[in-house]
Copies of this chain bind each other. A is one copy, B any other.
């Protein structure tokens, strides 16, 4: 316990960076008991070093130029917390190029350019750890990459964006519109002033890219995820879903089949009895199915300074233990050995089978149900549940239904025919349904 401290350089002193400094101090004794040596932040970089912060920076050399921290000879491990592609990528490459392992929470960089930075780390003989990039404090990267290493992972599904889950939960519980729930989320700091990245599903798509790579052993390719956000989810659909026994959640879904993999982020109806349906507010949860273990679920806080800092420090502890070890003993970045990471065909959405939820605005006339169901029957699509609502006030009448599992292609053909029916008005809603059985 008297061994020299491991010197950490932190780039970025935002919420997570401050959390890392605070926790390394508060939990210093506990962490040193685990590692055998203290972990000490000696260097940090921040745009405005003088700004008041919720952490103790005494003894820390704080500079404005992050590159000086990435290159600092007296730093053993670098923590990158500024986010975004550049200069984060150049900072990480500079650190690993000097043989310094890196911890990052930067899902955008890894999803967009991870293959390149991991290759740089291999050349430097060090690791880049990224538990904090997905699902905040929940150790989901470690669970999939190491804890389920005996499995062929068949699929995973997760609530991996706390902002969207908060908004959908508010819409569910208070009957709020999307716009009102978003405004509340912004007021409470759960959504950014420009919320696009979260509400359009892009953040979830980055996280799903990372999860799919470590689950299936495929290279990172953010562009291969089909992404749909939550902006068009209405309180009405949430309410009808509830009548059918479902909740609407933004899920990231990755499945592996014989024909290829499915990679998709979209609002999804999940049975109210499933554990994902019960993960509310800013919590995150990931379900993983392996061919040996069956279904394993994890949940917890997916965001927030301390929860994310918890994951950063877990990575620091892992890297601290590995300092000076032959890199061939390290866990490979993407779970599979670099030469065993193989591209897999990604299925187009038209080839994906799922159950569908459909809500149509219809004129209040006789024969509506029979004409709609006739079209579905003609395409051999069964209906699992159907609900017709009389017009209320100046609202149109509605028909909502849930289909059996069907290839999207076939469903789309039926949908086009239904939309052409003279009694169907503008404004249909269509969502996917996943049952996890």
Contacts and interface: CB of A to CB of B under 8 A. Distances in A.
B278 A317 contact: no
A149 to B, nearest CB: 4
Interface in A315-334: 316-318, 321-322, 324-326, 328-332
A1 interface: yes
Contact of A312 (B147, B150, B309): B150
A130 to B, nearest CB: 13
Contacts of A248: none
Interface in A281-335: 290-301, 306-307, 309-314, 316-318, 321-322, 324-326, 328-332, 335
Given A296-B137, A325-B326, A329-B329, A148 B310 contact: yes
Given A147-B142, A217-B33, A337-B34, A292 B306 contact: yes
Contact-residue size bin, chain A (C-beta under 8 Å from the other chain): 35 or more
Contacts of A307: 292-294
A293 B150 contact: no
Contact of A298 (B32, B298, B336): B298
Contacts of A143: 139, 142-143, 147, 298
Contacts of A83: none
A86 interface: no
Contact of A149 (B148, B300, B317, B326): B317
Contacts of A294: 137, 300-301, 306-307
Contacts of A31: 149-150
21 contacts: A1-B337, A1-B340, A27-B291, A27-B292, A30-B151, A32-B340, A33-B217, A34-B149, A34-B217, A34-B337, A36-B328, A143-B147, A150-B312, A275-B275, A292-B313, A293-B300, A296-B298, A296-B301, A297-B297, A321-B330, A322-B329
Given A150-B310, A321-B331, A296 B33 contact: no
B292 A309 contact: yes
A199 B119 CA distance: 52
Contact of A299 (B23, B296, B313, B324): B296
A296 B33 CA distance: 22
Interface string A16-47: 00010001001100111111100000000000
A307 B295 CA distance: 10
A152 interface: yes
Nearest to A294: B301
A237 interface: no
Interface in A241-286: 275, 278
